[in-house]
Amino acid sequence: MLELKQIGLKFLSDEKESTILEGISLTFERGRIYALTGPNGSGKSSLARVIMGIHLPTTGQVIYKGEDITALGIAERARKGIGYAFQHPARFKGLRVTDMMEIAMRRSGNHECWPLLKIGLCPDEYLERPLDASLSGGESKRIEVATLLAQDPDLRIFDEPEAGIDLWSFEQLVEVIGSSHRPNGTTIIISHQEKILNMVDEIILLEDGTVTLRGSQAEIWPQIRESTRCSCRRDCPRGGMPHADCSR
Ligand X SMILES: Nc1ncnc2c1ncn2[C@@H]1O[C@H](COP(=O)(O)OP(=O)(O)OP(=O)(O)O)[C@@H](O)[C@H]1O
Give, in order, the Cα–Cα distances in Å from 120 to each of 60, 168, 242. 40, 10, 47
Does residue 131 contact residue 143 with C-beta atoms inside 8 Å? yes
- Closest distance of CB 33 from ligand X, Å: 19
Position among 13, 179, 184, 247 found at the interface with ligand X (CB under 6 A): 13
What are the helix (H) ranges across the chain? 44-52, 74-79, 97-104, 114-118, 123-126, 137-151, 167-180, 194-199, 217-227
* Closer residue to ligand X (CB): 127 or 204: 204
Examine residue 45 and tell whether it contacts Mg ion (CB under 5 A): yes
Of 43-51, 124-132, 180-188, 193-201, the window that binds ligand X (rule: CB under 6 A) is 43-51
Position among 23, 31, 41, 137 found at the interface with ligand X (CB under 6 A): 41
Examine residue 11 and tell whether it contacts ligand X (CB under 6 A): yes
- Closest distance of CB 107 from ligand X, Å: 27
Examine residue 227 and tell whether it contacts ligand X (CB under 6 A): no
**Whose CA is closest to 119, among 195, 176, 157, 168?**
176
Applying the rule CB under 6 A, the residues between 98 and 157 that interact with ligand X are none
H helix or E strand, kind and range, residue 34: strand 33-37
Position among 2, 7, 20, 224 found at the interface with ligand X (CB under 6 A): 20
- Closest distance of CB 57 from ligand X, Å: 13
Give the C-alpha separation, 64 to 169, whole Å: 33
Examine residue 17 and tell whether it contacts ligand X (CB under 6 A): no
* Closer residue to ligand X (CB): 154 or 160: 160
Relative to beta strand 82-85, strand 155-159 is parallel
Residue 107: count of CB within 10 angstroms of its CB: 15
- Closest distance of CB 50 from Mg ion, Å: 13
Give, in order, the Cα–Cα distances in Å from 229 to each of 35, 214, 223. 19, 18, 10
- Closest distance of CB 227 from Mg ion, Å: 18
* Closer residue to ligand X (CB): 46 or 151: 46
Examine residue 46 and tell whether it contacts Mg ion (CB under 5 A): no
Name the phi and psi angles at 18, rounded to 5: -120, 135
Does residue 180 contact residue 163 with C-beta atoms inside 8 Å? no
Examine residue 44 and tell whether it contacts ligand X (CB under 6 A): yes
* Closer residue to ligand X (CB): 46 or 147: 46
Examine residue 187 and tell whether it contacts Mg ion (CB under 5 A): no
* Closer residue to ligand X (CB): 13 or 247: 13
Site of interaction with Mg ion (CB under 5 A): 44-45, 87
